[in-house]
Amino acid sequence: NVFAQEEKKDTLTVATNATFPPYEFIKDGKIVGIDIEIANKLARKLNLKLNVVDMEFNTIISSIESGKADIGMAGMTVTEERLKSINFSMPYAKSTQIVLINSNSKFVKIEELKGKKIGTQLGTTGDIYSKDDFGEKNVQSFDKISDAILAMKNGKIDAIMIDQQTGENYLSNDSALKKIESPYVEEEYAIAIGKNNKELLNKINIAIREMQNDGTIKAIVNKYIVT
């Protein structure tokens, strides 16, 4: 629909999943977080109005493919598999996976979780790695990590695999949780962009580089992550 596209030209529509503190989460009824602040700056640099659309994490890529969203910003890890359907900007953050368990749980090493039930957020790298390493049948995928945490407290699952900073965030707000460090590979977060949108990709890469060089991204991250 060419007409709709024309009308949307002054707007940057960003798909996200606001269940992922500190990158995107709901506070006082508003979507906030590192990605949202970066998106704001980005839109301003591109002279566009920002429109943030909250959706299931697992639908972000298809919403970009269908043109419903221009970009995805959701602490999204660059993977070979995803690169088959979308492009990624240059990375703007790094992460790894950690494992959350109930604080009264006896597990200390990740190997002890073989044969146990692992909870994940559907479609995330933690979901994919867990299924690879612990077997599909041992993994329960949730739409939201908060639902996985509830299930773990109710004894329905034994552990949760999740990105480090988000995991630490849930941990620091909940004394009923503790973590197992994991040996998982480093991941890089980047902005997802449609394959046929090379011009936007270039502009976004330039903007990210500027925001990295002038300290904008660092300042935003430091606001949310106390190290």
CB of 172 to ligand ARG, least distance (A): 18
Among 17, 87, 141, 182, binds ligand ARG (CB under 6 A): 17
Among 31, 36, 74, 217, binds ligand ARG (CB under 6 A): 74
Looking at the Cβ atoms of 120 and 216, the one nearer to ligand ARG is: 120
Produce one character per residue of 105-119: b if its CB has 16 or more CB atoms within 10 Å, e if not.
Answer: bebeebeebeeebbb
Q: Say if CB 139 and CB 131 are below 8 A apart.
A: yes
Which residues are registered as beta bridge partners of 99?
161, 180
* Tally of residues, the chain: 227
Nearest to 115 by CA among 147, 137, 140, 97: 137
Positions 80 through 119 that interact with ligand ARG (CB under 6 A): none
Q: Say if CB 73 and CB 39 are below 8 A apart.
A: yes
When asked if residue 75 is in the footprint of ligand ARG (CB under 6 A), the reply is yes
CB of 5 to ligand ARG, least distance (A): 26
Among 76, 99, 193, 208, binds ligand ARG (CB under 6 A): 76
Rounded to whole angstroms, the Cα distance separating 119 from 145 reads: 8
Nearest to 150 by CA among 19, 60, 15, 28: 19
Looking at the Cβ atoms of 94 and 210, the one nearer to ligand ARG is: 94
When asked if residue 34 is in the footprint of ligand ARG (CB under 6 A), the reply is no
Q: In the structure encoding, which two tokens stand for residue 123, read together?
A: 């479609």
CB of 57 to ligand ARG, least distance (A): 4
Looking at the Cβ atoms of 48 and 73, the one nearer to ligand ARG is: 73
When asked if residue 24 is in the footprint of ligand ARG (CB under 6 A), the reply is yes
Contact residues for ligand ARG (CB under 6 A)? 16-17, 19-20, 24, 57, 74-77, 121, 124-125, 163, 187
